[in-house]
Structure 1
Amino acid sequence: MLLKILISSIFSLLFFLHFLHGFDIKVSSKEENLQVHLTTNLMKQCYPTVKSSYLITDSQENSLYMNFYTVVGTITLFEQSKNFTSNLKKKSPISSVIMSLRSSSKLEEALIDAKWRAFNQFFIILDGGDTNNGCDNAKSFLMEAWRNDILKAVFLCWNYQKQIPQLYSFNPFNRYAPMSWEKVAVVPAINGHPWTLFVQNYDTGIATCESLFFDRTSDLGRYIIKFGLFNLPPFLSYKNISGVATINGYNYEIIKLLVKELNATLVIDEVAAVLGRFDNATTRGLLWRVAKGKVDLTMNSLILRAVSKSAEITYPFHGAGLSAISQNRLSPGHDSQLFSFLPPSIFALLFITCILVFFLLLYLFKDPYSRNVVAIVLLLLNLPTPSTPITTNGRIIFGATLLGFTITNVIIQAKMDTVMSILNTEQNIENIEDINNLNYTVLTRRGILSQTLEANGVTNIKLVPHYISCSQLERHEAFVGVEYILRTHLTDTCHMSKHPIVPGLFVSYYTRSNWPIYPKINKKLLMLFEGDLTRYISDKVLREYYVPNFQEVERYQVITLQHMEYAFYFFVGSSLMSLIVFFVELVITIA
Structure 2
Amino acid sequence: MLLKILISSIFSLLFFLHFLHGFNIKVSSKEENLQVDLTTNLMKQCYPTVKSIYLITDSQENSLYLNFYTVIGTITLFEQSKNFTSNLKKKSPISSVIISLRSSSKLEEALVDAKWRAFNQFFIILDGGGTNNGCYNAQYFLMEAWRNDILKAVFLCWNYQKQIPQLYSFNPFNSYAPMSWEKVAVVSAINGHPWTLFVQNYDTGIATCESLFFGRTSDLGRYIIKFGLFNLPPFLSYKNISGVATINGYDYEIIKLLVKELNATLVIDQIAAFLGRFDNATSRGLLWRVAKGQVDLTMNSLILRAISKSAEITYPFHGAELFAISQHRLSPGHDSQLFSFLPPSIFALLFITCILVFFLLLYLFKDPYSRNIVAIVLLLLNLPTPSTPITTNGRIIFGATLLGFTITNVIIQAKMNTVMSILNTEQNIENIEDINNLNYTVLTRRGILSQTLEANGVTNIKLVPHYISCSQLERHEAFVGVEYILRTHLTDTCHLSKHPIVPGLFVSYYTRSNWPIYPKMNKKLLMLFEGDLTRYISEKVLREYCVPNFQEVERYQVITLQHMEYAFYFFVGSSLMSLIVFFVELVIDID
Output the TM-score relative to the length of structure 1: 0.79
Matched residue, 1:252: 252
Matched residue, 1:291: 291
Aligned pair in 2 of structure 1 residues 558, 45: CA closer, same or farther (>3 Å)?
A: closer
316-325 or 343-352: bigger deviation: 343-352
**What is the distance in 2 between the residues matched to 1:321 and 1:84?**
46
Aligned pair in 2 of structure 1 residues 168, 360: CA closer, same or farther (>3 Å)?
A: farther
How far residue 348 of structure 1 moved from its aligned partner, in angstroms, is 23
331-340 or 107-116: bigger deviation: 331-340
How far residue 530 of structure 1 moved from its aligned partner, in angstroms, is 0.9
Aligned pair in 2 of structure 1 residues 498, 354: CA closer, same or farther (>3 Å)?
A: same
Q: Residue 59 of structure 1 aligns to a residue in which SS?
A: coil
**What is the distance in 1 between the residues matched to 2:414 and 2:293?**
64
- Mapped contact 2:378–2:578 kept (Cα < 8 A): no
Aligned pair in 2 of structure 1 residues 349, 55: CA closer, same or farther (>3 Å)?
A: same
Matched residue, 1:587: 587
361-370 or 222-231: bigger deviation: 361-370
**What is the distance in 1 between the residues matched to 2:444 and 2:394?**
64
1:299-333 Cα deviation digits (max 9, x unpaired): 11110134332111011111111111222235143
1:218-251 Cα deviation digits (max 9, x unpaired): 1111111110111111121011122211100010
Q: Residue 94 of structure 2 aligns to a residue in which SS?
A: coil
577-586 or 244-253: bigger deviation: 577-586
Aligned pair in 2 of structure 1 residues 9, 115: CA closer, same or farther (>3 Å)?
A: same
510-519 or 394-403: bigger deviation: 394-403
- Mapped contact 1:341–1:558 kept (Cα < 8 A): no
**What is the distance in 1 between the residues matched to 2:384 and 2:483?**
55
- Mapped contact 1:229–1:270 kept (Cα < 8 A): yes
How far residue 426 of structure 1 moved from its aligned partner, in angstroms, is 2.2
**What is the distance in 1 between the residues matched to 2:209 and 2:566?**
96
347-356 or 171-180: bigger deviation: 347-356
- Mapped contact 2:183–2:196 kept (Cα < 8 A): yes
- Mapped contact 1:331–1:423 kept (Cα < 8 A): no
**What is the distance in 2 between the residues matched to 1:540 and 1:401?**
67
- Mapped contact 1:53–1:76 kept (Cα < 8 A): no
**What is the distance in 2 between the residues matched to 1:249 and 1:531?**
20
1:238 and 2:238 equivalent?
A: yes
How far residue 255 of structure 1 moved from its aligned partner, in angstroms, is 0.3
**What is the distance in 2 between the residues matched to 1:564 and 1:519?**
63
Q: Residue 442 of structure 1 aligns to a residue in which SS?
A: strand
- Mapped contact 1:56–1:79 kept (Cα < 8 A): no
How far residue 30 of structure 1 moved from its aligned partner, in angstroms, is 0.5
Q: Residue 31 of structure 2 aligns to a residue in which SS?
A: helix
Aligned pair in 2 of structure 1 residues 466, 560: CA closer, same or farther (>3 Å)?
A: farther
How far residue 116 of structure 1 moved from its aligned partner, in angstroms, is 0.8
Output the TM-score relative to the length of structure 2: 0.79
Matched residue, 1:429: 429
**What is the distance in 1 between the residues matched to 2:572 and 2:501?**
55
Aligned pair in 2 of structure 1 residues 233, 354: CA closer, same or farther (>3 Å)?
A: farther
Aligned pair in 2 of structure 1 residues 146, 179: CA closer, same or farther (>3 Å)?
A: same
Aligned pair in 2 of structure 1 residues 231, 78: CA closer, same or farther (>3 Å)?
A: farther
Superposition pairs for residues 123-522 of structure 1, below 5 Å?
Answer: 123-335=123-335, 424-522=424-522
**What is the distance in 2 between the residues matched to 1:561 and 1:403?**
28
Aligned pair in 2 of structure 1 residues 232, 494: CA closer, same or farther (>3 Å)?
A: same
- Mapped contact 1:329–1:423 kept (Cα < 8 A): no
Q: Residue 331 of structure 1 aligns to a residue in which SS?
A: coil
92-101 or 481-490: bigger deviation: 481-490
Q: Residue 69 of structure 1 aligns to a residue in which SS?
A: helix
Q: Residue 269 of structure 1 aligns to a residue in which SS?
A: strand
- Mapped contact 2:492–2:550 kept (Cα < 8 A): no
Aligned pair in 2 of structure 1 residues 93, 397: CA closer, same or farther (>3 Å)?
A: same
**Aligned residue-pair number:** 591
Aligned pair in 2 of structure 1 residues 588, 52: CA closer, same or farther (>3 Å)?
A: closer
**What is the distance in 1 between the residues matched to 2:469 and 2:558?**
22
How far residue 466 of structure 1 moved from its aligned partner, in angstroms, is 1.9
Aligned pair in 2 of structure 1 residues 489, 375: CA closer, same or farther (>3 Å)?
A: farther
172-181 or 280-289: bigger deviation: 280-289
1:383-424 Cα deviation digits (max 9, x unpaired): 999999999999999999999999999999999999999993
- Mapped contact 2:326–2:477 kept (Cα < 8 A): yes
- Mapped contact 1:180–1:211 kept (Cα < 8 A): yes
1:98-131 Cα deviation digits (max 9, x unpaired): 0111111111111111111111110000001111
- Mapped contact 1:236–1:247 kept (Cα < 8 A): yes
1:258-296 Cα deviation digits (max 9, x unpaired): 011111111111211111111222332211111111100
Aligned pair in 2 of structure 1 residues 33, 585: CA closer, same or farther (>3 Å)?
A: closer
**What is the distance in 2 between the residues matched to 1:145 and 1:178?**
21
Aligned pair in 2 of structure 1 residues 498, 575: CA closer, same or farther (>3 Å)?
A: closer
Q: Find runs of 4+ consecutive structure 1 residues off by over 6 angstroms.
A: 336-423, 549-591
1:332-383 Cα deviation digits (max 9, x unpaired): 4323769999999999999999999999999999999999999999999999
